[in-house]
Structures are given as C-alpha cells and as structure tokens.
Amino acid sequence: MARMQEAPIFIVGSMRSGSTMLRLILDSHPRIAVGAETGFMGALLAARRIPGWKHGAEWFGRIGWTEQELDARLREFYSGMFERHARSQGKARWGDKTPFHTSHMEAMGQVFPDAVFVGIVRHPGAVAASLHRSFHYAFDEAVDYWCDVNRQMLLAAGELGDRFTLCRYEDLVSDSEDVLRELVAAIDEEFDPALLRHHEVQRAQGAPKLTDGSTSSQDPIDASRAERWTDEITPAQRDILGAAARLGAVFGYAQTEVGPFPAGTHRWTATGKELAERCAEQPGVLDQTSPGPPLALDADPEELARRLAQAEAALHRIRSRRAVRYAEAARRVQRGRTWHEVRAAWAMLRDEGRG
C-alpha cells in the first residue's frame, strides 16, 4: 500500500460505543492528533447546501463555481483548522471523532478523498443499557438507534471499501495490543506502546479529566466494563434486543453474548469491502429498521403526534441529564472536591441552561 502521508482519520460509531475511548487512544499516538468532538460536518454541509432555500443546493453555481471547486475550498479551510491543532500538539496527522458524523460518511469521503475511516461497534445491549441509564432513552428507542446508526455505517463502509476499518469495543478492551496493531497498520501507522498508556499520555498532555460523553481521559483500558450491562437489563429488555439480532450477527453478536469476529482476513478488524460481503450473505439485513423518514409538510395528525412525542421525550432527556449532572456535582463534594469547584460547575450548568 502506498503511504497515506498525512491523510485525515475519521472515527465513527454510535454514541456509547467506545468511540471516545478510541479517540483518546489514537490521540496518544506520537503522530496523530484527534481532539474533542467538533461536529464540523454540520457547518460544512450547510455550506454545500444552504438550508431552507429553494436554490440552496446550487447557490455556488449561481456565481460560477463547480461542486468540485467548492469541495476543494472547503477541504482547504477545514483541513487548515485541524492541521493547526495537530501542529500545536506536535503531531503530523489530524483526525476527528463525532458520533453523528456516522451519517455523513459519504460526504466526508467525497470532500476528503484521501481520508481513512475507523469504525467501532459495541453490543446493542451495552449501548442501549448505557443510553437508558445515562441519557434517559427508552430501551426500545435505544435499540432502534443502535440499528439505524450501524446500518448507516455499514452502507457507507461498503462504498468506502478499504478506506474503512472496523473494530469491536469488546475486542479492543480485552485484547488491546493485538487489536491496535491491526488498526494502526490499516491506517498506515506504526504501532507505538503509548497507545496502551493513553491515560498517562492524556494526563501529560493536559487533557480535561472528563471529556465527551463524560468519559474519563485518565482511566486505563478496563476489560471488565464490556459485560457489566448484562447484569442490569431486565428480562423484558432482553426480549427487545431481538430487534437487533440480524444486524448484530453481522458483527458476531448474539442476543446477550459476544462471539468471534465473523468477518475480515484479519482476526480483529474488517474492511468496508469485507463487511459488504458479509452483509450480502444476509439479504435485507441493511433495510431500515425503524420509522425515520423526513416529516412531510402534509403529514397526517397521527404522524405529527408521534413526532411531537419524540421531541418531548428528547427534551425530557436533556432536562434529566442536567438534573443528573447537578446530582453528580453534589456527590463530588463527598469525594473530596471543594465547594468552590462545585459552585463553578453549577455556574456552567446555569449558563448552558440559558443558552
């Protein structure tokens, strides 16, 4: 394989899949800088297609620009921002990790034609249990989310082919060195022992103790976390996991268990091409699993009511999360934190609420 030089690295995967931990690990490589989530593709896509305007998809053509020219300018602009961050860390190569970017992989591959993608997947039961516990999702809603995001990832991975490499969270925490050796080779880097000491490297780099998703940057890899969820779900929730059974089998997941990784010429990772071949063996496995088409302006009252209920549930989750964070701040006092630190955290939360 020709050297990728300084090709960007995009980490993709659902919320609660371990993508933040993977970001912290790769950011600990002496050549790679993957900072906190940016969500920059939201801004990039808005520049390509202006929302809410009938000429929004062709605005640049009205002043004589081609789509290829616009993409080149956008690539130059955003690459420059990330490259500056990488240089500030003494690194040669930049990357990004934002969960909702999983739905933008096709566009990312077009705008950044030399970019490589690293996907991570985690058992649907673990993801659903975490979303239910920490983000107040209904369990069935969380399972639907897992199916939709990973279906999107697999569809895009098939198009990206060898530019995409997938690993599983459970393998990453239990056989860390073996998985990381395969993973960094796939993105054309040398393995470095610092990857296994990301918690020490992040502390030395001055990373915040808590980062995206309330993930601790200073906790070492802990294999015991992989199966904790199996003890906290109810029998009814186990039954709900049946909705993810076919898609989960693509990754080697049984309803509440993790089997061998079923795809790829390597033991721990698979390319987009290999995953596409795996999906082709199960026709229909990538069909949409939950109702999620854009809302039509002439939607019937039942559809409008369903969407309103979803919006209200999302608002409830946001409010509940803030309440949980207040409670966590109070618990920190009992762990030896000062009242000054807690008051500062409360002030930050109040500012967020006003925003």
Question: At which of 272, 289, 306 does a domain end?
Answer: 289
Buried b (16+ CB within 10 A) or exposed e, 256-282: bebeebebbebebbbbbbbbbebbeee
- On whether both 150 and 15 belong to a single domain, the answer is yes
| Residue 3 covered by a domain | no
Do 296 and 242 belong together in one domain? Answer: no
Last residue of a domain, one of 240, 269, 289: 289
Tokens of 321: 């999360």
Cα torsion angle, 331, 335, 339, 342, sign: negative
Q: What confidence tier does 137 reach under pLDDT thresholds 50, 70, 90?
A: very high
Q: Give per-residue pLDDT as tens, 196-240.
A: 999 999 999 888 888 887 788 989 999 988 999 999 999 999 999
CA–CA distance, 139 with 124 (Å, rounded to integer): 10
Do residues 266 and 313 both lie within one domain?
no
Spatial CA neighbour of 86 closest among 32, 41, 40: 32
- CATH (domain of 26): 3.40.50.300
CB within 8 Å of 107: residues ≥ 6 apart: 41, 44, 45, 48
Same domain, 118 and 176: yes
Determine, yes or no, domain membership for 4.
no
- pLDDT category of residue 339 using cuts at 50, 70 and 90: low
* End residue of a domain, out of 237, 260, 289: 289
Lookup: tokens for 310: 């979803």
213 and 329 assigned to the same domain: no
**Residue 272 domain-assigned (yes or no):** yes
Q: Assess whether 85 and 98 both reside in one domain.
A: yes
Residues 285 and 298 in one domain: no
Backbone angles phi, psi at 253, to 5 degrees: -100, 125
Q: Given a cut of 80, is residue 303 above it in pLDDT?
A: no
Q: Are residues 114 and 262 in the same domain?
A: yes
Please provide the size of the chain in residues. Answer: 355
Domain that holds residue 205: 9-289
Considering the entire predicted model, what is its pTM?
Answer: 0.82
Residue 1 falls inside a structural domain: no
Q: How many separate domains does the chain show? A: 2
Rounded to the nearest 10°, the torsion over CA 58, 59, 64, 70 is -80
Per-residue confidence (pLDDT) for residue 130, from 0 to 100: 95
Residue 93 near residue 26 (C-beta atoms within 8 A): no
Q: Find all residues with CB under 8 Å of 300, minimum gap 6, and list them.
A: none
CA distance 108 to 128: 27
pLDDT at residue number 214 = 78
- The average pLDDT across 157-166 equals 98
> What integer best gives the mean pLDDT of the chain?
88
What are the E-state strand segments in 262-348?
270-271
> Is pLDDT at 314 greater than 80 in this prediction?
no
**201, 306: one domain:** no
Whether 260 and 300 map to the same domain: the answer is no
2 inside domain: no
Q: What's the angle, vertex CA 279, arms to CA 276 and CA 281, rounded to 5?
A: 115
Identify whether 78 is part of a domain: yes
246 plus 344 within the same structural domain: no
pLDDT tens digits along 258-275: 999 998 899 999 999 999
Token pair, residue 168, equals 């599983």
User: What confidence category does residue 171 fall into, taking pLDDT thresholds of 50, 70 and 90?
Assistant: very high
Q: How confident is the model at residue 331 (pLDDT cuts 50, 70, 90)?
A: low
Instruction: State the pLDDT at residue 209.
Output: 87
**Are both 181 and 315 inside the same structural domain?**
no
CA–CA separation, 221 and 24 (whole Å) = 11
